[in-house]
Structure formats: C-alpha cells, structure tokens
Amino acid sequence: MKTTRTGVWRKRIATVACAAVLCCGLAALAGCSGGDQKEESKAPEQTQTDQAATRTFTDSAGREVEVPAQIDKIAPSGHTAMQVLLTMAPDKLVSLSQELSTDQLKYFDSKLADLPITGAAFGAKGDMNKESVAAAGPQVVIDTGEYKDGLKEDLDNLQSQLGIPVVFIETPLDGYDKSYEMLGDLLGMEDRGKELGDYCKNAYDEVKTAMAAIPESERVNVAYLMGDSGLNAIAKTSYQGTVIDMCANNVVQLEKASGSGAGNEISLEQIAVWNPNLIVFGTKSIYSTVGDDAAWAGISAIESKNYYEVPSEPWCWLNNPPTVNQIMGLQWFSRLCYPDKFDNDMQDVVTSYYKTFYNYDLSQADYDKLMSTALPR
C-alpha cells in the first residue's frame, strides 16, 4: 500500500537552512566539520514525519480509507467491535462501547475499567457520544459485524462527524480467518492476526466436516429460547442463529426472523407444536425452574432433561451480539448435540479458546462454574 508523507515544504527548507547556518558557525568556532550536529538536527524532523505517515486501507465495505501507517490507539464503533478488539489488541483501546462487568473484567487487564464508555454508533440505540470518542484520541475507529445495505453511507457519515478514519471489518462465522488477517494488516499485528485467524478457521472447518457426515434427517431438533419466561426464540435463518442453524434443525421457523438479540416473541403452545428434542436457554431465563413447571411438562426436551443454559462469560457463546464468541459456541454446541463425532475433550477445547483469545488460564474451578449448566446431567 502506498505511503504518503505530510509536512509543509517551506518550513522544512527553512529548518534545514537554519541548521546549516548553525552548523557552519559551530564549525568555524570549533574547527570541525559539524557533521554530527547535522545528523542530530535531522532526527526530530524525521520522527515527526514518520508519525505523520499515512496509507490507504481498503476495508470490507470496499471503502478506501486513509489511515496512519502506525496505529497505536483505536476505538470500537460498538459492542461487536469491542469484543473483537479485546481479543486482538486490548492494549491499543482508548475507549469501550459499554462498561465491563466484574465477571467480564476477570478475563482482562483491570486498567480497561478506567477507559471512557462511549456507546455504540449503530444498532437499536445508536447512542455513541461522538465528543467523548474524539476526546479519547483514537487514530482510527473500527466497526465489525454484518455487512448491510446502506452501511457505506453510515460509515462515511460517522467518519465525517468524528473527523477520524472509520474502518469496517466484516466478521462472518465462516470468515474470521480473513477478518483477523485484515485487522493484523491494519494494526501492524500480522502474527497475532494469523494466530487468531488460524484458530477460527480450524474450529469452523472441524465442525463443518463433522456436520457434513450427519444427514439432515438425523440432526437434532433444537430451540434456542430466551427471556424471563422462555418465550423469546432465535429463529431459523436469523443472523443471531447462525450457530444453531449450522449444527441442528432449528425448529423455530417463522415468516419473519428478527435480527434482534432478543429474538421473536412466541407462545408456549407454539413451542409444544414444534416439540424440540433439545432446548438451549439464554441467561436470565427459566432454566433453573422450567423442570418443575407443569406448563412445560409435555415438551420432549424438558421431559428427557435434555435442556441447557448457554455459558455467557465473558459474553454469550451463541449470540447477542453474534461475534467471535460464536467460535466458542460453535465448538460447544456441536459437541453437545453430537458428542460421539468429536475426539477432543470439551475441557481442552474450552481451555484452549480462553487461553488463545483472552490469554486467560482457566482453572478447574473456573471451568466447572462456566459449564455447570452447559453439559449433560
């Protein structure tokens, strides 16, 4: 990529001229050539020029964005980007889109708790505090997620409002190797990008290969339910339901699938009609009480005790938001549905993910707590 250098040539000429006069004067007094002084006078100027260097980066939306050649300060556009950047370059973050809870902070440097909270530029709330973002001093704002119609214009508008380069990195479940490669290129962290990208590709390919050997007719009938009454469902074909759809027969087939992390509102009668063999409940749902609820007694998954609660530290493994956390969810959920199709131990898989993405060593107690509602009884 082409590198351009900024600077005002008249000032540069004046600076060089002054340096030459000074060196000649010193040479006359000291009887030396003044070569050392010339080298010293160039050093500060060279440093300033290098810091001002830029290059053109083409993002996933096809936008050509002029960004600093060296990037040390970044800001997320929202929650999806924040989660990705925390796996890639937490030390470069100058702001967060939302506050990290105590349970989430255990996986990261505690200094992140001191960063300003700036909100999300897009999505349902669209509550980004642009003044706070600018005040944090990022060299670039990074957006990740699903490419949608109108995104280019939204990104251009945000960039214009902030006066800061805004870059979009698409992050589909089957393309995180390319996503991390792009991030590595952008941030000058090619090795880290390759490490994370390779992990994602290997994990995805492993599950894809296993699923290819399971006919559609033999796939588990699953419902992913959320909400305090369990009556919100992640529908088939929704962006939030990518992991479920890849690994199982998602029985929640609706005319219009919601793109919201809260899913579609449904009725218990409809769940009974679908009668899933396996149910995954979201956090803060009715997992802990549903087994004693007479209204749910006739549903196959409840009767057979084949229901679970998705792990959610530091974020939900399956969705909300659907981002790199789904790589862990993909490995967990596929093994939950078809344990005999995989050779490696679940604990080894989970421990490896947390070490690779968060540089966190899961203790036995950590693992047991994380998986307490996520494994067969």
Q: What is the DSSP string of 142-164?
A: EEEE---TTHHHHHHHHHHHHTS
Identify the pLDDT of residue 58.
Answer: 98
- In this prediction, residues 161-169 reach a mean pLDDT of 98
Check: CB of residue 145 under 8 Å from CB of residue 171: yes
> Measured between alpha carbons, how far is 355 from 212 in angstroms, rounded to an integer?
29
Instruction: Please tell me the predicted confidence (pLDDT) of residue 211.
Output: 97
Q: 39 pLDDT exceeds 60?
A: no
241 and 167 part of one domain: no
Structure confidence at residue 231 as a pLDDT band (50, 70, 90): very high
Say yes or no to pLDDT of 191 above 80: yes
- Statement to judge: residues 58 and 45 lie in one domain: no
Nearest alpha-carbon partner for 327 in 357, 363, 283: 357
Q: Which residue has the higher pLDDT, 38 or 232?
A: 232
Residue 161 lies in a domain: yes
Same domain, yes or no, for 197 and 280? no
Residues 306 and 278: their CA atoms lie apart, in Å, by: 5
For residues 218-232, average pLDDT: 96
Q: What is the predicted pLDDT for the residue at 51?
A: 55
State both tokens at 249. 């027969």
> Do residues 171 and 234 share a domain?
no
136: confidence class by pLDDT, cuts 50, 70, 90: very high
At 291, give phi and psi (nearest 5°): -65, -25
pLDDT tens-digit map of 60-91:
999 999 999 999 999 999 999 999 999 999 99
Question: Is the pLDDT reported for residue 340 higher than 50?
Answer: yes
Mean residue pLDDT of the chain comes to: 88
Given a cut of 60, whether residue 36 has pLDDT beyond it is no
Asked whether the predicted pLDDT for residue 203 surpasses 80, the reply is yes
User: How far, in Å, are 27, 38, 40, 42, 49 from residue 17 at the CA level?
Assistant: 15, 11, 14, 12, 18
Domain that holds residue 189: 54-208
The answer to whether residues 183 and 61 belong to one domain is yes
Residues in the chain: 377
376 within a domain of the structure (yes/no): no
Among 208, 237, 262, where does a domain finish?
A: 208
> SS3 sequence, 90-112?
HHHECCECCCCCHHHHCCCCHHH
Cα(first)–Cα(last) distance of the chain, in Å? 55
| Domain termination residue (choose one: 208, 236, 257) | 208
Q: What share of the chain has pLDDT > 70, as a percent?
A: 86
Q: What is the pLDDT of residue 377?
A: 78
Indicate the pLDDT class of residue 50, thresholds 50, 70 and 90. Answer: low
Pairing state between β 249-250 and 221-226: parallel
C-beta separation of 263 from 226 below 8 A: yes
d(CA 121, CA 98): 12
Is the pLDDT at 114 greater than 80? The verdict is yes
Q: Is residue 269 in some structural domain?
A: yes
Domain boundary among 159, 174, 208: 208
Q: Tell me the pLDDT band of 317, cut-offs 50, 70 and 90.
A: very high
Clarify whether residues 71 and 112 are in a common domain. yes
pLDDT in tens, 10-34: 333 333 333 333 333 433 333 333 3
Write the CATH number for 184: 3.40.50.1980
**Same domain flag for 40 and 131:** no
- Residue 95 confidence (pLDDT) above 70: yes
Alpha-helical runs (H) found in 5-108? 9-30, 35-51, 79-88, 102-105
Alpha carbon distance 94, 75 (integer Å): 6
Same domain for 327 and 184: no
- The Cα–Cα gap between 368 and 212 comes to 31
Residue 281 lies in a domain: yes
Domain assignment of residue 377, yes or no? no
What is residue 32's predicted lDDT score, i.e. its pLDDT? 36
What's residue 321's pLDDT?
Answer: 87
Measured CA to CA, the distance from residue 83 to residue 145 in angstroms comes to: 11
Task: Give the mean model confidence (pLDDT) for residues 281-302.
Answer: 96
C-alpha 14: how far from chain center: 48
**pLDDT score recorded for residue 169:** 98
- Regarding whether 124 and 41 lie in a shared domain, the answer is no
**Per the structure, how many domains does the chain have?**
3
316 has a pLDDT exceeding 80: yes
Least confident of 46-50, 139-143, 279-283: 46-50
Mean pLDDT of 297-320: 96
Q: Are residues 127 and 183 in the same domain?
A: yes
Question: Which pLDDT belongs to residue 320?
Answer: 86
The predicted model gives 253-261 an average pLDDT of: 90
Q: How far is CA 208 from CA 174, 221, 248, 332, 353, in A?
A: 10, 18, 12, 13, 18
Listed range (41-55, 113-127, 187-201, 255-269) with the worst mean pLDDT: 41-55
Do 133 and 184 share a domain, yes or no?
Answer: yes
What is the predicted pLDDT for the residue at 126? 82
Residue 375's H or E segment, with its range, is: none
Residue type at 29 in one-letter notation: L
